[in-house]
């Protein structure tokens, strides 16, 4: 979802902080090169996705397994190579490059002379120079062809590729040498001989004739190779087929020809991006790919370090264009798409514009952009929640909100913060509902009896007190019931203490002794002799028992009894109940009994009923962690309140709690039992 504006106040400063972190991450990763393998992998993917057709003016004469079977084991006598050159030169190729090192004299001087004569006769043959390390001492040596062959060759060029950290050949140095980077590539020399290279080639000289400038290997102008396809993509003919006349001579006319080994086991194989370690590419085919890239101007230039760092830093902050304006899920999806598109674009870039940008650092920053931004967004949400918690603490000091200290807030998890705010919101909703009920109560229920009394006082010169007392008593009873209910809804179990429930019920029965005698009813107490303890609020529990007894006394037939009892159904619960004789209630009546203003205590509004008595009982039970219910059976109705049990106080606590319970009893109240 696009919001069109920042997600929270101060987002610009957050964007700057995240942008700085992403730039530093991208620059550090790109500059250190620790993601080089990721860069290599993307380059290899691009090479596999960008294969292209090649023209038929380049051919390979392959020393393959068939040739080894027909001619014999390697190395072959040099007169075989002389014969091959005679056949090739007769077909007038544009240039011939031989990828076979002739750096040592053979056992047959005559064969060397025949080969030199064939090379000189062709006048368009380029021979290789090898830079190698000696086995003893690790000294670097330049190994050109032997002098007769070097003198007869049209050019000498260096062979070899650069292997990256993972051992895969992806690039070549256009100039390389010991002491000075003097030697061009053999591919360049073949192109120059064939008239397809415009650059000035370095003059080929024999190493013994060069002035040594030290043993340091110098390289210049490293370029990446654009491979035309997997091994076998460049057309090839078998060496032995050419010798035995199975290849038409005109097949090589005007072509560039490379001669080299393709037989497995001769060691001239290197892994490449388009072959991998499972199927290395013959060295002569790598040479062919280098030649094609140079001829077509498709060698790939690597972006220098400073532009790479600048571009990496710039691309690293691109996700911040949308993250501040999107919700988390769209931001995640778009950031993921950005990383994938960026990686694919960088992989395809070399094949499109012959430029390589190492994207590892930028991709790492792209992967971190969403987590970093989400972290800052969560921090902003946490600060907002902490602010709301402080505000709610000030508004609702007695509700379930944490203390207004930084240590207390830091100790809360994010989910706990949300839970605290949700609890406070529910409390606010309850308070709002209570306020609405109070307004409704004042505007309707309480106003009606008061208006009736005022009307009588205004309409008569001398009002009859007997007529005024009922509406005034009703208004007083409703106000008192509403106040009791408000107190019950504000109960908090954390502020409750141990209460001796038997004494509470005894006191409630004492309270209604006079009402029972007035209505010719008796109260039967089925209460245990031993103390029964419950964690609760004394006055609320007493008022609940009084409400149940008043309700029973209002509906019980004359000359019957109302029972109040207390028992413990199991170790975790206890319950007290009030029972009287009455007709059974219908399902609709039972459903409305415990509702606020539910239409009377038992479905028929009594003159003195407020509609809040049984709702008060249910509210008190729930605030104590219990419940209230009604049962009808055998011509009797029983209201039951279930409460969680409590541990028995220690002996030293017992007297204090009993004294506290006794202190709560109003003085002068009768304790007589009926």
The answer to whether 298 and 226 are in contact (CB under 8 A) is yes
CA of residue 607 relative to chain centroid, distance: 65
What residues does 524 pair with on adjacent strands? Answer: 563
Residue 111 lies in a domain: yes
The whole-angstrom separation of Cα 206 and Cα 184 is 13
Confidence (pLDDT) at 199 = 56
Domain of residue 506: give its range: 493-663
The three-state DSSP-derived secondary structure of 509-539 is HHHCHHHHHHCCCEEEEECCCCCCEEEECHH
Q: Which residues of the chain have pLDDT under 70?
A: 1-10, 134-138, 198-214, 267, 276-278, 393-411, 414, 434, 437-449, 451, 453, 455-466, 468, 478, 596-611, 647-674
Q: For residue 414, give the DSSP letter.
A: H
Q: Tell me the CATH number at 571.
A: 3.30.565.10
**Beta pairing class for 269-270 and 95-98:** unpaired
Residue 592 lies in a domain: yes
The answer to whether 561 and 522 are in contact (CB under 8 A) is yes
Residue 303 lies in a domain: no
**Beta pairing class for 125-133 and 183-184:** unpaired
Boundary-marking domain end, from 236, 257, 278: 257
The answer to whether 617 and 639 are in contact (CB under 8 A) is yes
Return the number of other C-beta atoms located less than 10 Å from residue 670's C-beta.
Answer: 9
The whole-angstrom separation of Cα 267 and Cα 247 is 27
The tokens for 45 are: 């993917």
Number of domains composing the chain = 2
Boundary-marking domain end, from 238, 257, 276: 257
DSSP string, 208-245: GGSPP--S-EEEEEEEE----SSTT-S-EEEHHHHHTT
Q: Could you tell me how many residues make up the chain?
A: 674
Residue 500 lies in a domain: yes
Confidence (pLDDT) at 446 = 61
Q: 360-395 and 11-32 are packed helices; what angle lies between their axes, rounded to 10 degrees?
A: 150
Residue 609 lies in a domain: yes
Return the number of other C-beta atoms located less than 10 Å from residue 575's C-beta.
Answer: 19
The C-alpha R_g of the chain, in whole angstroms, comes to 50
What residues does 522 pair with on adjacent strands? Answer: 561
Confidence (pLDDT) at 85 = 93
The whole-angstrom separation of Cα 280 and Cα 493 is 77
HSE-CB of 114 using CA atoms within 13 angstroms: 15
The answer to whether 183 and 54 are in contact (CB under 8 A) is no
The whole-angstrom separation of Cα 555 and Cα 22 is 78
The three-state DSSP-derived secondary structure of 133-168 is ECCCCCCEEEECCCHHHHHHCCEEEECCCEECCCCC
DSSP string, 281-327: EEHHHHHHHHHHHHHTT-PBEEPPHHHHHHHHHHHHTGGGGTGGGB-
The whole-angstrom separation of Cα 650 and Cα 658 is 12
Confidence (pLDDT) at 207 = 40
The tokens for 336 are: 């993921």
**φ, ψ at 87 (rounded to 5°):** -70, -45
The answer to whether 271 and 280 are in contact (CB under 8 A) is yes
The answer to whether 165 and 37 are in contact (CB under 8 A) is yes
Confidence (pLDDT) at 132 = 80
The whole-angstrom separation of Cα 139 and Cα 131 is 10
In the block, residue with structure tokens 């509004």: 605
Torsion of CA 366, 368, 371, 373, to 10 degrees: -70
Q: What is the pLDDT of residues 153-174, one digit of tens each?
A: 999 999 989 998 888 999 999 9
What residues does 497 pair with on adjacent strands? Answer: 536
Residue 311 lies in a domain: no
Confidence (pLDDT) at 669 = 38
Residue 50 lies in a domain: no
**Beta pairing class for 256-261 and 58-63:** parallel
Q: For residue 91, give the DSSP letter.
A: T
The sign one gets for the Cα dihedral 41, 43, 49, 53 is: negative
Confidence (pLDDT) at 447 = 62
HSE-CB of 88 using CA atoms within 13 angstroms: 32
DSSP string, 335-356: HHHHHHHHHHHHHHHHHHHSEE
Residue 501 lies in a domain: yes
Torsion of CA 65, 67, 71, 76, to 10 degrees: -90
The whole-angstrom separation of Cα 275 and Cα 205 is 35
Boundary-marking domain end, from 211, 226, 257: 257
CA of residue 448 relative to chain centroid, distance: 62
Confidence (pLDDT) at 673 = 33
């Amino acid at each position: 979802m696009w919001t069109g504006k920042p997600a929270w106040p101060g987002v610009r400063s957050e964007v700057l902080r995240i942008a700085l972190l992403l730039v530093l991450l991208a620059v550090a990763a790109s500059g250190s090169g620790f993601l080089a393998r990721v860069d290599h992998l993307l380059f290899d993917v691009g090479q596999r996705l960008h294969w292209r057709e090649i023209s038929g003016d380049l051919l390979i004469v392959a020393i393959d397994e068939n040739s080894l079977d027909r001619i014999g084991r390697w190395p072959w006598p040099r007169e075989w190579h002389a014969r091959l050159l005679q056949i090739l030169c007769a077909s007038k190729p544009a240039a011939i490059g031989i990828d076979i090192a002739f750096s040592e004299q053979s056992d047959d001087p005559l064969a060397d002379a025949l080969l030199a004569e064939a090379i000189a006769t062709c006048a368009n043959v380029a021979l290789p120079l090898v830079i190698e390390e000696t086995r003893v001492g690790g000294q670097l040596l330049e190994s050109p062809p032997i002098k007769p062959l070097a003198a007869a060759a049209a050019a000498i060029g260096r062979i070899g590729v650069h292997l990256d950290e993972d051992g895969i050949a992806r690039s070549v140095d256009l100039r390389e040498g010991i002491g000075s980077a003097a030697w061009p590539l053999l591919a360049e020399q073949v192109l120059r001989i064939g008239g397809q290279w415009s650059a000035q080639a370095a003059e080929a000289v024999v190493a013994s004739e060069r002035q040594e400038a030290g043993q340091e290997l110098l390289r210049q102008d490293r370029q990446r190779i654009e491979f035309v396809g997997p091994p076998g993509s460049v057309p090839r003919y078998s060496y032995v087929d050419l010798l035995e006349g199975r290849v038409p001579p005109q097949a090589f006319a005007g072509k560039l020809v490379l001669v080299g080994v393709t037989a497995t086991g001769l060691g001239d194989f290197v892994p490449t991006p388009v072959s991998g370690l499972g199927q290395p590419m013959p060295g002569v085919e790598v040479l062919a790919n280098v030649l094609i890239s140079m001829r077509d101007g498709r060698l790939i230039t690597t972006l220098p370090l400073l532009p790479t760092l600048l571009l990496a830093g710039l691309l690293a902050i691109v996700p911040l264009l949308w993250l501040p304006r999107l919700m988390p899920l769209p931001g995640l999806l778009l950031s993921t798409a950005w990383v994938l598109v960026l990686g694919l674009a960088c992989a395809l870039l070399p094949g499109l514009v012959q430029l390589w940008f190492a994207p590892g650092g930028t991709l790492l920053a792209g992967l971190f952009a969403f987590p970093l931004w989400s972290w800052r967004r969560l921090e902003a949400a946490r600060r907002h929640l902490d602010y709301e918690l402080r505000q709610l603490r000030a508004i609702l000091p007695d509700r379930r909100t944490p203390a207004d200290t930084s240590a207390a807030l830091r100790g809360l998890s994010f989910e706990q913060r949300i839970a605290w705010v949700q609890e406070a919101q529910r409390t606010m909703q309850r308070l709002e509902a209570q306020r609405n009920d109070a307004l409704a109560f004042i505007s309707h229920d309480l106003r009606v009896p008061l208006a009736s009394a005022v009307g009588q006082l205004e309409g008569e010169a001398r009002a009859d007190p007997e007529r005024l007392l009922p509406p005034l008593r009703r208004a007083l009873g409703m106000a008192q019931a509403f106040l009791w209910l408000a107190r019950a809804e504000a109960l908090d179990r954390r502020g409750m203490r141990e209460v001796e429930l038997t004494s509470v019920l005894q006191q409630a029965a004492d309270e209604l002794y006079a009402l029972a005698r007035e209505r010719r009813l008796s109260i039967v107490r089925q209460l245990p002799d031993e103390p029964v303890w419950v964690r609760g609020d004394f006055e609320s529990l007493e008022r609940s028992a009084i409400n149940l007894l008043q309700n029973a006394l209002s509906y019980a037939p004359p000359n019957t009894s109302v029972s109040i009892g207390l028992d413990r159904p199991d170790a975790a619960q206890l319950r007290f109940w009030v029972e009287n004789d009455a007709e059974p209630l219908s399902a609709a009546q039972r459903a409305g009994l415990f509702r606020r203003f539910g239409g009377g205590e038992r479905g028929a509004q009594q003159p003195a009923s407020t509609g809040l008595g049984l709702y008060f009982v249910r509210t008190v039970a729930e605030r104590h962690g219990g419940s209230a219910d009604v049962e009808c059976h055998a011509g009797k109705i029983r209201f039951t309140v279930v409460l969680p049990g409590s541990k028995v106080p220690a002996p030293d606590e017992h007297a204090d709690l009993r004294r506290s319970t006794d202190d709560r009893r109003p003085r002068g109240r009768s304790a007589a039992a009926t």
